[in-house]
Amino acid sequence: MSGCRFCGKPLQHTFVDLGMSPLCESYLRADQLNQMEAFFPLWVFVCEGCFLVQLQEYVSPKEIFTEYAYFSSYSDSWLKHARDYTDKVTSRFGLNQNSHVVEIASNDGYLLQYFVEKSIPCLGVEPAANVAAVAAKKGIPTVVKFFGVATARELAAQGRQADLLLGNNVLAHVPDINDFVGGLKVLLKPSGVITMEFPHLARLMEGNQFDTIYHEHFSYLSLIATEKIFAAHGLILFDVEELASHGGSLRIYAKQAENNAMPISPRVAELRQRETAAGFTRLDHYFTFAKQVEETKRALLDFLIDAKRAGKSIAGYGAPGKGNTLLNYCGIRTDFLDYTVDRNSYKHGRFTPGTRIPIHPPERINQTRPDYVLILPWNLKKEITKQMAHIGEWGGKFVVPIPKVEVIDP
Ligand SMILES: [Zn+2]
C-alpha cells in the first residue's frame, strides 16, 4: 500500500469502500461481450496527516486518458457554464489580444472556443489524441500531452507562459498532484492567475454523492487540503467560489506567492472557517460518510425491486462515468434497467462497463415508452426533465437516485 499522494504518510483510514468496479469509461462493444473485464478496487482513504481524501493509483492515467469517450460539448448546460466563465474572467482580469490563456485538459475545445471568439490567444493541453483532434478541427491550438512540471517547462521555454491558466475537473484527476501543481507554478506568469474547478468534498459528503467516485478521480478535495497543496508549491489561493456544477464544485483562484498586487478575498477565510466548523480537520467527520452511502444503496434497490414487482418497465437516461459507479456498486443490470440512452453517439451500440446495459440514442425511449426513466447524470436533472418532458404523454415518471431516491412527474 502506498502513502498519501500529497504528504506521503501511510494511508490507513477508509473513507468509503465501493467494492470492485471496471474503469467507468470503458464502454464495451458487442464483440467484447464474451470477454472478461478488468475490475479494480474503488476503495477510498482519508490521510490523517493532510486530510486529503484519495483513491490510490490502481490504474495508470495512460490506460485511462489516451482514448477518452467523454466529449465535453455534448452538454448544453456545461457549454453555458464555460461561456459565462469566459465572459467573467475576461472582464475581471482584463484579458485581451495580448494575453495568453492556457487550459489544461482542454478536451474538445468546449471552453477555449469562447476565447477564440474574443480573439484572445489560447492553447489547449489535452492528453487524449482523439479528443484533441476535434479541438484542432475547430481551430483551437492544442498540444497532445499529459501536464506536469516537464510539460510546463517545455511550454515556458517556448515563451508560452500563461496570464490565465485554467483547468476544469482535472486537478482531482491527476495521480501525481505534486507534479501537476508544481507545473502550474512553472507555467504561470509572475502576474498570472490560475483558476481550477473541482467537485467540493463537502458537497459530496452532504449529498451522498458516492457515484462521483471512480478510478479516474484520484483526489476528493476540500478547500483546506487544496490550500495546503498549493502553498507547498509556492501558490496562494486568493479567491474561491462555490458553484452548482457537478453536484457542487469549488472554483479556486490562485496566484504566485510572490505576487502582492492581488488582494485576498474574505471568501477564502470564510470558507476555511466553515469547513473547520463542519469537521474537515477531524478524522471522525470523514467516518460518517460510508454509513450514508450504504443507506443510499438500500433505498435505491428498495425502489427498483418494488417497481419491478409491480410489473413496471424502467429505462436509464444517460451513460455517464458516474452512472457506472452507481450501477456497479448497487448491482443494477438488465434485471432492473432494460437499457439506457445517451446523446453521445460514441456510446451508441455499446454496453455499460461491468453491468453490460445496452446504450441507445434517446429516441429509443419514445419507442418503448418505459414507466420510469432513471436519470443517471442527476446533476443535469433540470435539463433532462425538460428535454424529456414528453414521457408524461404515456404516464412515464423520472427517478433521480441521488442525493436521495426521488420520483418526479414530468
Ligand atoms: Zn496526506
| DSSP codes joined into one string, 294-326 | HHHHHHHHHHHHHHHHTT--EEEE---HHHHHH
Distance in Å, CA 150 to ligand 1 centroid: 24
- Whether the CA torsion 157, 143, 320, 168 is positive or negative: it is positive
Distance in Å, CA 187 to ligand 1 centroid: 25
Distance in Å, CA 350 to ligand 1 centroid: 39
- Whether the CA torsion 71, 74, 79, 81 is positive or negative: it is negative
φ, ψ for residue 125 (rounded to 5)? Answer: -120, 120
Q: Which three cell numbers stand for residue 260?
A: 502582492
pTM of the predicted protein model? 0.88
Which pLDDT does position 74 carry in this prediction? 64
Question: For 233-276, how does the pLDDT look when each residue is reduced to its tens digit (9 = 90+)?
Answer: 999 999 999 998 877 999 999 999 999 999 999 999 999 999 99
Q: Which residues pair with 36 in a beta bridge?
A: none
The Cα 312–Cα 217 span in angstroms is 35
Provide the edge-to-edge strand list for the sheet that holds 219-220. Answer: 13-21, 40-46, 53-55, 219-220
Distance in Å, CA 229 to ligand 1 centroid: 10
Q: Which three cell numbers stand for residue 347?
A: 456510446
Comparing 30 with 25, the larger pLDDT belongs to 30
Residue 347: pLDDT band with limits 50, 70, 90: very high
Residue 216: pLDDT band with limits 50, 70, 90: confident
Distance in Å, CA 29 to ligand 1 centroid: 39
> Which range has the worst mean pLDDT, 56-60, 103-107, 187-191?
56-60
Distance in Å, CA 220 to ligand 1 centroid: 12
310 pLDDT more than 70: yes
The Cα 346–Cα 256 span in angstroms is 41
Distance in Å, CA 226 to ligand 1 centroid: 11
Which pLDDT does position 277 carry in this prediction? 98
Percentage of the chain with pLDDT > 70?
96
Which pLDDT does position 24 carry in this prediction? 86
Distance in Å, CA 5 to ligand 1 centroid: 7
Which pLDDT does position 321 carry in this prediction? 85
Q: Name the DSSP letter for residue 352.
A: -
Distance in Å, CA 280 to ligand 1 centroid: 13
Question: For 120-136, how does the pLDDT look when each residue is reduced to its tens digit (9 = 90+)?
Answer: 999 999 988 888 999 99
Which pLDDT does position 2 carry in this prediction? 77
Which pLDDT does position 73 carry in this prediction? 59
The C-alpha cell 509572475 sits at 190
Distance in Å, CA 284 to ligand 1 centroid: 16
> Which range has the worst mean pLDDT, 23-37, 74-88, 105-119, 364-378?
74-88
Residue 105 and residue 170 in contact, taking contact as beta carbons nearer than 8 Å: yes
Distance in Å, CA 9 to ligand 1 centroid: 6
Ramachandran sector of residue 214 (left: φ over 0; alpha: ψ -120 to 50; beta: rest): beta
Q: What angle do CA 128, 129, 133 make, to 5 degrees?
A: 120
Q: Which three cell numbers stand for residue 91?
A: 472582464
Q: What angle do CA 405, 217, 253 make, to 5 degrees?
A: 100
Residue 166 and residue 185 in contact, taking contact as beta carbons nearer than 8 Å: no
Distance in Å, CA 185 to ligand 1 centroid: 20
Average pLDDT, the chain: 94
Q: What is the dihedral of CA 237, 238, 243, 248, to 10 degrees?
A: 30
Distance in Å, CA 230 to ligand 1 centroid: 13
Which residues line ion ligand 1, judged by CB < 5 Å?
A: 4, 6-7, 47, 49-50, 52
Distance in Å, CA 51 to ligand 1 centroid: 6
Distance in Å, CA 11 to ligand 1 centroid: 8
Distance in Å, CA 4 to ligand 1 centroid: 5
Question: For 39-93, how does the pLDDT look when each residue is reduced to its tens digit (9 = 90+)?
Answer: 999 999 999 999 999 998 877 766 666 555 555 656 788 899 999 999 999 999 9
Distance in Å, CA 54 to ligand 1 centroid: 9
The C-alpha cell 453490460 sits at 356
